[in-house]
């Protein structure tokens, strides 16, 4: 049971991104995540506001932002959906959702730092596949990278750890931050799987730690990987803020991958990350929703993770 209220940033506009009927990254995901969070004992729900242009410019270069502005203009004039890549489509309503998803992740980070608490951005679309100048894998802006850059803009924040437990490798976040000494990027993911990056045998940069789990891996392999490699790396890094790319598609019910995690694994990892945030960051931990495509699994595992990051003991 939760002991401290979880501050959640969300907005109904995040359900307005619906460019393609039948797409797995569907509007119902927002309701499913919120249904899980609503079962917490204490919840403090706040509006996810649109990301600022100043914030966007810290990660995404002007030509990419100009290209997206052109796409948005075309959608407005033609009233139809447009594809940014094979998996990533935008239509009327999409850009309001995209801006609020990024803004909510940034607000979650700011509030976690200011109030020394755990926060959760219940937003969509996700962000971790988006590169600085490329939409990819349902993602347009890289929400968690924007949150990290926003936090690092504060003089009091020197180091940010970005922890990604989505079943897919966070290629965009890795590409944006590889080689930096103020960001540590850690990922557990199914390997091989889309997008094909994240091979642990390839040393990308000293600030990148990838663990690939073969299809069929379950709770034990997942927890062992975090205990042996990922959690100790966060501890050594001594971050001022723990950010989490919280994707729930490694759940056994998820249709897009073949890991076998259970609800309680998300509680367990949330609790571990909460402990590290309390040790190093005065409790500052901000999570942002990434994947998770079985609606029941999303409800249950978001709740379990939220209980983990807010638990008193």
- Count of residues touching Zn ion (by CB under 5 A): 5
Nearer to Zn ion, 137 or 283 (CB): 137
Q: How far is the CB of 154 from Zn ion (least distance, A)?
A: 29
Instruction: Name the segment binding Zn ion (CB under 5 A); options: 83-91, 110-118, 249-257, 258-266.
Output: 249-257
Residue in 72, 249, 294, 300 binding Zn ion, rule: CB under 5 A: 249
Catalytic site includes residue 128: no
Collect all residues with Cβ–Cβ distance below 8 Å to 117 and sequence separation of at least 6: 4, 7, 111, 283, 284, 285
Nearer to Zn ion, 11 or 254 (CB): 254
Strand 160-164 vs strand 241-246: parallel, antiparallel, or unpaired?
A: parallel
Residue pair 141/51 in contact (Cβ under 8 Å)? The answer is yes
Q: How far is the CB of 221 from Zn ion (least distance, A)?
A: 18
Q: How far is the CB of 291 from Zn ion (least distance, A)?
A: 3
Instruction: Name the segment binding Zn ion (CB under 5 A); options: 4-12, 69-77, 197-205, 246-254.
Output: 246-254
Nearer to Zn ion, 125 or 283 (CB): 125
Q: How far is the CB of 174 from Zn ion (least distance, A)?
A: 14
Instruction: Name the segment binding Zn ion (CB under 5 A); options: 110-118, 229-237, 283-291, 299-307.
Output: 283-291
Nearer to Zn ion, 37 or 289 (CB): 289
Q: How many CB atoms are closer than 10 A to CB 179?
A: 10
State the binding string over 141-180 for Zn ion (x if CB under 5 A, else -).
-------------------------x-x------------
Residue in 125, 127, 247, 308 binding Zn ion, rule: CB under 5 A: 247
Q: How many CB atoms are closer than 10 A to CB 47?
A: 13
Nearer to Zn ion, 166 or 240 (CB): 166
Q: How far is the CB of 167 from Zn ion (least distance, A)?
A: 5
State which of positions 50-79 bind Zn ion (CB under 5 A).
none
Q: How far is the CB of 33 from Zn ion (least distance, A)?
A: 14
State the binding string over 284-313 for Zn ion (x if CB under 5 A, else -).
-------x----------------------
Out of 129, 169, 189, 191, the active site residue is 129
Give the CB-nearest residue to Zn ion: 291
Nearest to 312 by CA among 259, 274, 273, 255: 274
Give catalytic residues, as residue numbers.
129
- Binding footprint of Zn ion on the chain (CB under 5 A): 166, 168, 247, 249, 291
């Amino acid at each position: 049971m939760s002991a401290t209220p979880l501050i959640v940033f969300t907005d109904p506009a995040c359900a307005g991104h619906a460019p393609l009927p039948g797409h797995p990254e569907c509007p119902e995901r927002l309701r499913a995540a919120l249904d899980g969070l609503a079962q917490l004992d204490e919840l403090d729900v706040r509006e996810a506001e649109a990301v600022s242009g100043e914030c966007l410019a810290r990660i995404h270069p002007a030509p990419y932002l100009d290209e997206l502005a052109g796409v948005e203009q075309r959608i407005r004039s033609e009233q139809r959906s447009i594809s940014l890549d094979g998996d990533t489509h935008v239509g009327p309503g999409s850009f309001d959702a995209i801006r609020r998803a990024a803004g909510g992740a940034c607000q979650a980070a700011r509030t976690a730092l200011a109030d020394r608490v755990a926060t959760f951005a219940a937003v969509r679309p996700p962000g971790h596949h988006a590169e600085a100048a490329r939409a990819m894998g349902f993602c347009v802006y890289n929400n968690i990278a924007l949150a990290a850059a926003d936090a690092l803009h504060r003089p009091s924040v020197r180091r940010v750890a970005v922890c990604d437990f989505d079943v897919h490798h966070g290629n965009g976040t890795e590409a944006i931050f590889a080689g930096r000494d103020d960001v540590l990027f850690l990922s557990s993911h199914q390997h091989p799987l889309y997008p094909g990056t994240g091979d642990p045998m390839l040393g990308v940069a000293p600030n990148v730690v990838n663990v690939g789990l073969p299809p069929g891996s379950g709770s034990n392999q997942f927890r062992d990987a975090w205990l042996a490699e990922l959690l100790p790396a966060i501890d050594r890094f001594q971050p001022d803020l723990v950010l989490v790319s919280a994707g729930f598609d490694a759940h056994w019910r998820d249709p897009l991958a073949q890991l076998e995690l259970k609800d309680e694994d998300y509680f367990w990892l949330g609790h571990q990350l909460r402990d590290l945030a309390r040790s190093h960051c005065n409790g500052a931990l901000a999570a942002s929703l990434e994947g998770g495509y079985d609606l029941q699994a999303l409800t249950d595992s978001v709740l379990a993770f939220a209980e983990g990051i807010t638990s008193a003991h």
